[in-house]
């Protein structure tokens, strides 16, 4: 297993490009299954989760073609089996995103039920109930969700999400795109990735309105056609590099991103003392060598502060001046990074869903272990400011969501290297 070795202390300074968004690319790849001709998806990040989704397509008999510009072309008409096997689903929960499109387009699907998860229980009951509301019959047998559309195909329905769910909203939205009649989704997720997926469905000839609000209206269409689509920038990668500059007192300019999709994060960075300037597709953060001030924050669905940035801000608070309370309301077990940060000398007290972080003057490098994607990002950030070397184990978690992390950090002046293990 590869490891990262980071020698802390370098003040970051430079410019890098932000990659396409993992959490938009995954549902968009799943939605290609809805089309009745080849679809090309561009700006896909080079990440382990994307490779897993492509491998899943391969298992179903579809062979995605990668062109010279690294865009992927998928022809869903070549599908041979409608099964998403457990070996793949257990490595990536987002595989559940093929359920809605397969039932809508091919009338049936078997998708392994994702198991437990490092950040919380993460059930998929809302995905199942949404499809049932559209007339699908669903049985869970042998660890698989076996879904069948009714005679004549899925029917539009009114569905209320009693918890806001990002992939739940996406799954039902994709299914509704080819259902008969109108579907109204209430208490829908408003994340920018949901909006990107709606734009993609509409680019294939679909009719989705209201994405980005809590009520999404989908008029089902007979067929969706070929299209070419460019995935939006990754707001969590963007936020992570901004925090990297902030913790080191440095400056970073991020290109090919979008400042309007992470306003809650930019506000918190300003509150922490950073100077943040933005243009249409870039963000620059300058800390002018200062130490950050600790901030209080509470995660919640978009447009509130994202749970996917919580771990990184715990690292920021860990070296900031003062004390900040971080409340996690989306997942029940997303503080695993705290116990690794304690090994580096952080002062953090966890009580229920709240972490009270008192900044220390300096962290010390230590061997630590990544437990999930964003937790591992927070360890990288802490290591960038820690005294001496930090060895981060299990970095396959990082490779799921951060494209070329060591190259990008090296370009900003960090001392980071990968050691194959």
Spell out the residues 6+ positions from residue 216 whose beta carbon is closer than 8 angstroms to its own. Answer: 169, 173, 184, 185, 188, 194, 198, 208, 209, 210
- Is 117 one of the catalytic residues? yes
Which is catalytic among the residues 65, 66, 117, 140? 117
Q: Which two tokens stand for residue 62?
A: 């579809």
Helix (H, G, I), strand (E, B) or coil at 191: coil
Nearest distance in Å: CB 76, ligand EPU: 20
Which helix (H) or strand (E) segment is 13 a member of? strand 13-17
Q: Which two tokens stand for residue 173?
A: 């939205």
Q: Which segments of 204-290 does DSSP mark as H helices, in order?
A: 235-247, 263-271
| Long-range CB contacts (within 8 A, 24+) of 88-94 | 88/52, 88/55, 88/56, 88/59, 88/112, 89/113, 89/114, 90/114, 90/115, 91/52, 92/49, 92/52, 92/53, 92/400, 93/117, 93/122, 93/167, 94/23, 94/26, 94/27, 94/49, 94/53, 94/167
Cβ proximity to ligand EPU: between 166 and 409 the closer is 166
Cβ proximity to ligand EPU: between 52 and 226 the closer is 52
Question: Under a CB-based contact definition with an 8 Å cutoff, are residues 394 and 1 in contact?
Answer: yes
Nearest distance in Å: CB 126, ligand EPU: 3
Helix (H, G, I), strand (E, B) or coil at 311: helix
Determine the Cα–Cα distance for residues 73 and 41; give it in Å rounded to an integer. 6
Cβ proximity to ligand EPU: between 45 and 250 the closer is 45
Nearest distance in Å: CB 124, ligand EPU: 5
Query: What length does the chain have?
Result: 421
Residues that bind ligand EPU (CB under 6 A): 23, 26, 94, 120-127, 163, 165-168, 307-308, 330-331, 373-374, 401
Nearest distance in Å: CB 2, ligand EPU: 19
Rounded (to 5) percent helix, strand, coil in the chain: 35, 30, 40
Cβ proximity to ligand EPU: between 8 and 168 the closer is 168
Cβ proximity to ligand EPU: between 259 and 401 the closer is 401
Nearest distance in Å: CB 369, ligand EPU: 17
What are the residues facing 367 on neighbouring strands? 391
Q: Which two tokens stand for residue 401?
A: 């969501």
Determine the Cα–Cα distance for residues 232 and 19; give it in Å rounded to an integer. 9
The closest of 36, 37, 49 to 104, measured between CA atoms, is: 36
Q: How far is CA 232 from CA 47, 56, 197, 275, 365, in A?
A: 15, 22, 10, 25, 35
Determine the Cα–Cα distance for residues 268 and 247; give it in Å rounded to an integer. 13
Which pairing describes strands 347-351 and 323-327: parallel, antiparallel, or unpaired? unpaired
Nearest distance in Å: CB 168, ligand EPU: 5
Question: Under a CB-based contact definition with an 8 Å cutoff, are residues 396 and 4 in contact?
Answer: no
Cβ proximity to ligand EPU: between 26 and 34 the closer is 26
Which helix (H) or strand (E) segment is 72 a member of? strand 72-74
Cβ proximity to ligand EPU: between 122 and 293 the closer is 122
Nearest distance in Å: CB 302, ligand EPU: 7
Nearest distance in Å: CB 116, ligand EPU: 11
Active site residues: 117
């Amino acid at each position: 297993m590869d490891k990262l070795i980071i020698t802390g202390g370098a003040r970051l300074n430079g410019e890098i490009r932000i990659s396409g968004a993992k959490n938009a690319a995954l549902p968009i790849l799943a939605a290609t299954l809805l089309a009745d001709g080849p679809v090309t998806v561009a700006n896909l990040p080079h990440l382990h989760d994307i490779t897993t989704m492509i491998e899943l397509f391969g298992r179903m008999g579809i062979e995605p073609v990668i062109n010279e510009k690294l865009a992927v072309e998928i022809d869903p008409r070549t599908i041979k089996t409608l099964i998403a096997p457990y070996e793949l689903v257990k490595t990536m929960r987002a595989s559940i995103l093929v359920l809605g499109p397969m039932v809508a387009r091919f009338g049936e699907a078997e998708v392994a039920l994702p198991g437990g998860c490092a950040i919380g229980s993460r059930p998929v009951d809302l995905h199942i109930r949404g499809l049932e509301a559209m007339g699908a019959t669903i049985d869970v047998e042998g660890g698989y969700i076996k879904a069948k559309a009714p005679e004549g195909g899925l029917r539009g329905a009114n569905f209320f999400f009693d918890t806001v769910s990002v992939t739940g909203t996406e799954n039902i939205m994709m299914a509704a795109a080819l259902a008969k009649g109108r579907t109204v989704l209430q208490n829908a997720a408003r994340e920018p990735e949901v909006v990107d997926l709606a734009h993609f469905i509409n680019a294939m000839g679909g009719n989705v309105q209201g994405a980005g609000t809590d009520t999404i209206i989908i008029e089902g269409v007979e067929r969706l056609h070929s299209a070419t689509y460019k995935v939006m920038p990754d707001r969590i990668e963007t936020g992570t590099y901004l925090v990297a500059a902030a913790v080191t007192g440095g400056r970073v300019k991020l290109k090919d991103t979008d400042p309007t999709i992470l306003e809650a994060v930019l506000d918190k960075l300003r509150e922490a003392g950073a100077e943040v300037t933005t243009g249409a597709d870039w963000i620059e953060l300058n800390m002018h060598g200062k130490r950050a001030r600790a901030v209080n924050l509470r995660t919640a669905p978009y447009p509130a502060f994202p749970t996917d940035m919580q771990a990184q801000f715990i690292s920021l608070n860990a070296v900031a001046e003062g004390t900040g309370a971080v409340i996690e309301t989306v997942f029940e077990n997303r503080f695993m990074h705290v116990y690794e940060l304690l090994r580096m000398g952080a002062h953090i007290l966890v009580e229920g869903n709240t972490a009270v972080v008192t900044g220390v003057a300096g962290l010390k490098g230590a061997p630590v272990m990544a437990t999930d994607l964003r937790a591992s990002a927070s360890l990288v950030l802490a290591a960038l400011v820690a005294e001496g070397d930090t060895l981060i184990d299990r970095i396959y978690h990082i490779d799921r969501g951060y494209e070329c992390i060591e190259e990008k950090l090296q370009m900003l002046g960090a001392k980071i290297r990968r050691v194959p293990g």
